[in-house]
């Protein structure tokens, strides 16, 4: 069913504000998304009616808060097609989920000479934890290249994965190019080599129907704040049995079974990785975000984004002096659209369009390896979500026309 954006936008209080005297046009959804009233209300409701620490208490508030928190574990599992809620760990964000695996799995499993295969389109949070792990263990990093269309070079990736490969870690969807990677195919390559496959789902879980079992990956990581939820909540899913094989990440309360002077034993399942008091309120509010997405249906979210992304790519390329990076076919890409305006630095573009109330991002997008590959210091990025409308793309194009006019003038004045 088509998403009724006019109605749905009423659920997002922030979308009715003005910026610099203009209606806000929020196109920075790959960085973080806006929150519907249901999520904001869930936070308030928790603090007003249920606030208590979880797991430890037997009083009514503690039981209610525990049930609400654990209920979201089940919802998060359902959102990505995972069979068991017990395979879901709550973290702070995607970054922490990946670091958890690097520490809890990587430190124990990797040795000198082992190899970790990444790609040039990874976010820093799927590069730096592996660089740190490589420095600790003596393992080597290998990076698969990207072709001219902004897609992974699968032949090269296949050639990099071999008997030394212990881990393959790739993004499901690029936060810069929008490219959607063929995870099921990559999972087969990893499986044949006996390597673990981690998928960075920070940009896919919010925008695509995801089924981790069908994808065939071993680990899947994502962040609540990029999918209508609050900041401070990340999710790590691991294939059944994998969490049990991993060492603890952080030590403290909640993650133990028995503590003795000479040492301790660990709690079972995800609790082993949730030391200390977790982010209870935000996890519970994330549940409201998952309900919201579920009610819309991820297939419809995806269809909406395909339409607006196709519209945006055509409008940007058609407006003159603009190049869009990454694949143009919306069947193989999502709604993070990076572009360059001839001769104008992305930061200048971003500043000017902000004066028109349009929020886009300029910079390296935490993907410096990709910037180097594209031979650019930075790009502009407009990124869409379920509440964006074509008229907002029009507002972006109008603001960009103004930026081009301003810089055209500046250049000619300098020339004189």
Interacting residue ranges for ligand PLP, rule: CB under 6 A? 30, 93-95, 123, 125-126, 171, 175, 200, 202-203, 223
User: Beta 361-363 vs 140-144: how paired, if at all?
Assistant: unpaired
Query: Across-strand partners of 115?
Result: 140, 165
CB 366 → ligand PLP: shortest distance, Å? 6
Q: Which is nearer to ligand PLP, 216 or 334 (CB)?
A: 334
Q: Pull the structure tokens for residue 28.
A: 């920075």
Nearest distance, CB of residue 318 and ligand PLP, angstroms: 27
User: Cβ closer to ligand PLP: 34 or 223?
Assistant: 223
264: DSSP letter: E
CA distance linking residue 98 with residue 241, whole number of Å: 18
d(CA 232, CA 282) in angstroms, rounded, equals 7
**Minimum CB–partner distance for residue 126 and ligand PLP (Å):** 6
CA 23 to chain CA centroid, Å, is 27
Q: Which residues pair with 300 in a beta bridge?
A: none
**Closer by beta carbon to ligand PLP, 366 or else 397:** 366
* Measured distance CA(207)–CA(228) in Å, rounded: 11
Nearer to ligand PLP, 50 or 93 (CB): 93
CA–CA gap between residue 400 and residue 353 (Å, rounded)? 6
Helix axes 280-296, 60-79, angle to 10 degrees: 40
- Taking the C-alpha atoms of residue 339 and residue 356, their distance in angstroms, rounded to an integer, is 18
Nearer to ligand PLP, 193 or 367 (CB): 367
Is 217 designated active site?
Answer: no
Measured from the CB atom, the residue of 137 and 223 that comes closer to ligand PLP is 223
Is 365 or 404 the residue whose CB approaches ligand PLP more closely? 365
3-state secondary structure of 71: helix
How many helices (H) and strands (E) the chain has is answered by 15, 17
In the block, residue with structure tokens 């909406």:
304
> At closest approach, how far in Å is the CB of 326 from ligand PLP?
13
* Under 8 Å between Cβ of 284 and 365: no
Name the catalytic one among 27, 89, 366, 371: 366
Please give the Cα distance from 62 to 47 (Å, whole number).
12
- Shortest Cβ distance from residue 29 to ligand PLP (Å)? 10
Q: Nearest distance from residue 319's CB to ligand PLP, in Å?
A: 26
Q: Starting at the edge strand that comes first in sequence, how are the strands of the sheet with 88-91 ordered? A: 88-91, 234-238, 219-223, 196-200, 165-171, 115-119, 140-144
Beta bridge partners, 140, equal 115
In terms of residues, how long is the chain?
Answer: 416
In the complex, least distance from residue 239 CB atom to ligand PLP, rounded to whole angstroms: 20
Provide the β-strand partners of residue 173.
Answer: 180
Residues forming the active site: 366
């Amino acid at each position: 069913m088509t998403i009724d954006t006019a109605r749905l936008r009423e659920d997002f209080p922030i979308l009715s504000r003005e910026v610099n005297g203009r209606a806000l046009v929020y196109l920075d959804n790959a960085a973080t998304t806006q929150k519907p009233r249901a999520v904001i209300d869930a936070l308030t409701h928790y603090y007003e009616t249920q606030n208590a620490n979880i797991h430890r208490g037997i009083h009514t508030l503690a039981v209610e808060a525990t049930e609400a928190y654990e209920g979201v574990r089940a919802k998060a599992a359902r959102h990505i097609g995972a069979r068991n809620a017990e395979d879901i760990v709550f973290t702070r964000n995607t970054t922490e989920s990946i670091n958890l695996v690097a520490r809890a799995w990587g430190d124990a499993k990797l040795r000198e000479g082992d190899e970790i295969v990444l790609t040039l389109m990874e976010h820093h949070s799927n590069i730096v934890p592996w660089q740190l792990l490589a420095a600790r263990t003596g393992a080597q990093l290998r990076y698969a290249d990207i072709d001219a269309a902004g897609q992974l070079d699968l032949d090269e990736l296949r050639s990099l994965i071999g008997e030394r490969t212990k881990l393959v870690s790739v993004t499901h969807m690029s936060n810069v190019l929008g490219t959607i990677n063929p995870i099921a195919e990559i999972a087969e390559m990893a499986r044949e080599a006996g390597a673990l496959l981690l998928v960075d789902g920070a940009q896919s879980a919010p925008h695509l129907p995801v089924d981790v079992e069908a994808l065939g990956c071993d680990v899947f990581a994502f962040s609540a704040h990029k999918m209508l939820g609050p900041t401070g909540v990340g999710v790590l899913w691991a294939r059944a049995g994998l969490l049990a094989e991993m060492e603890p990440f952080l030590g403290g309360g909640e993650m133990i079974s028995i503590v003795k002077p000479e040492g301790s034993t660990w709690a079972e399942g995800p609790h082993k990785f949730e030391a200390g008091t977790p982010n209870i309120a935000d996890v519970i509010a994330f549940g409201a975000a998952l309900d919201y997405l579920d009610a819309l249906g991820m297939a419809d979210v995806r269809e909406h984004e395909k339409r607006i992304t196709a519209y945006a790519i055509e409008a940007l390329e058609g407006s003159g002096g603009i190049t869009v990076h990454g694949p143009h076919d919306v069947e193989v890409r999502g709604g993070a659209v990076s572009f360059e305006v001839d001769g104008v630095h992305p930061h200048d573009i971003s500043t000017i369009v902000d004066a028109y109330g349009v929020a886009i991002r300029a910079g390296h997008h935490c993907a410096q390896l990709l910037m180097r590959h594209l031979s650019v210091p930075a790009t502009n990025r407009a990124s869409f979500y379920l509440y964006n409308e074509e008229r907002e793309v029009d507002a972006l194009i109008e603001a960009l026309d103004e930026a081009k006019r301003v810089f055209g003038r500046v250049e000619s004045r300098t020339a004189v």
